[in-house]
């Protein structure tokens, strides 16, 4: 199969983690990489919604927290991810988006994958100039009529993202897994950059 950017599809299972700030087009790239490599893109939000919709035991527990406006605790999030990664469609790999978010979840993911002797192959970090991202998000919020997305709010979200992800990126960087890719520019070009960077590993 030919993938965007003209590279050939990687053979063998590919287990990826995608990290990127709000406004860097992470969701778009996750969908494209999923198609390019023939692996499911898995976001924690999707896992929650799927379990809630299907009324699973874990979904019922998660819904209780979500309905109360509370964060789903780490322990339950870990259980949901473990359950999702045990399903047949991830046998040939996966792309995780939105998990892990904490160092404890990094250890948990290591344990989940380690049971079958697996580990992550690469951690793709989408980088983006802060001012550029702020401009992009302000434009999007204006188009969507989201008046609460002020520049101050957006910059705060970006600061929180940096604080939360910096320790995770540092851990994966020590393991030699991090691939930094410029997330700004034409969607096809960014997809091509990611695929080229992974092929070069």
Identify the helix (H) or strand (E) that includes residue 178. strand 178-182
Q: How far apart are CA 25 and CA 193, in angstroms?
A: 13
Task: List the one residue out of 91, 94, 93, 110 whose CA is nearest residue 102.
Answer: 110
Given the residues 15, 26, 32, 136, the one annotated as active site: 26
157 is catalytic: yes
Of 49, 82, 155, 157, which is the active-site residue? 157
Query: From CA 81, how far away is CA 99, in angstroms rounded?
Result: 8
Cis before 100 (ω within 30): yes
Cα(78)–Cα(101) distance, integer angstroms: 11
Task: Let me know if 49 is a catalytic residue.
Answer: no
Gap between the Cα atoms of 21 and 155, Å rounded: 11
Catalytic residue among 49, 63, 82, 140: 140
Which is the catalytic residue, given 53, 139, 146, 156? 146
Catalytic residue flag (residue 146): yes
| Joined tokens for residue 9 | 């599809």
Residues labelled catalytic? 26, 101, 140, 146, 157
């Amino acid at each position: 199969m030919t993938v965007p950017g003209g590279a050939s599809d990687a053979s063998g299972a590919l287990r990826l983690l995608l990290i990127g700030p709000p406004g860097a087009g992470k969701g778009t790239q996750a969908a494209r990489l999923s198609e390019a490599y023939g692996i499911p893109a898995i976001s924690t939000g999707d896992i929650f919604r799927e379990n809630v919709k299907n009324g699973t035991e874990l979904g019922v527990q998660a819904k209780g927290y979500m309905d109360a406006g509370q964060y789903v605790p780490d322990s339950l999030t870990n259980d949901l991810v473990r359950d999702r990664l045990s399903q047949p469609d991830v046998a040939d790999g996966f792309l995780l988006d939105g998990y892990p978010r904490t160092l404890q979840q990094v250890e948990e993911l290591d344990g989940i994958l380690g049971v079958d002797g697996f580990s992550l192959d690469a951690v793709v970090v989408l980088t983006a100039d802060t001012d550029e991202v702020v401009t992009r998000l302000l434009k999007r919020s204006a188009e969507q009529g989201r008046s609460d997305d002020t520049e101050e709010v957006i910059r705060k979200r970006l600061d929180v993202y940096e604080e939360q992800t910096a320790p995770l990126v540092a851990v994966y960087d020590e393991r030699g897994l991090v691939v930094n890719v410029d997330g700004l520019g034409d969607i096809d070009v960014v997809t091509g950059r990611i695929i080229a960077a992974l092929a070069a590993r």
